[in-house]
Amino acid sequence: MNINGLPAELEHFIHQELAQGKYESEADLIAEAVRLLREREHRLAELRKELRPALEALDRGEYTEYDEHSLRDMIEDVKARGRLRLAERRQTTP
């Protein structure tokens, strides 16, 4: 497989990986790279899909702005609820 035209650092990396015996051929290495790229693209698409409702809500103005005081209150509320849940779990766990 011809890897000419790649940036020198990538070509060097490919040669290092082959020299270490991690892949049997350039084609095997490239195939693995493409599989990983495909997996990453799939995960990014899923993440975008999960974020879409939140971004749309932001666009509609459906959000809460916090100042220093209200943010501190919200954080304390989250911590208090977390402590309560933890205490409940400890009571139900033998």
Q: 10 Å Cβ neighbour count for 33?
A: 14
Half-sphere CA count of 27, side-chain side, radius 13 A: 1
Sign of the torsion angle spanned by Cα atoms 48, 50, 68, 62: positive
Q: What is the CA radius of gyration of the chain?
A: 25
* Whole-prediction pTM: 0.59
Which position has the higher pLDDT, 6 or 71? 71
Confidence of residue 84 (pLDDT cuts 50, 70, 90): very high
pLDDT tens digits along 26-73:
999 999 999 999 999 999 999 999 999 999 999 999 999 999 999 999
Res. 1: pLDDT tops 70? no
Q: 10 Å Cβ neighbour count for 93?
A: 6
CA distance 90 to 92: 6
Residue 25 DSSP code: S
The helix (H) or strand (E) run that includes residue 59 is helix 26-59
CB 1 within 8 A of CB 27: yes
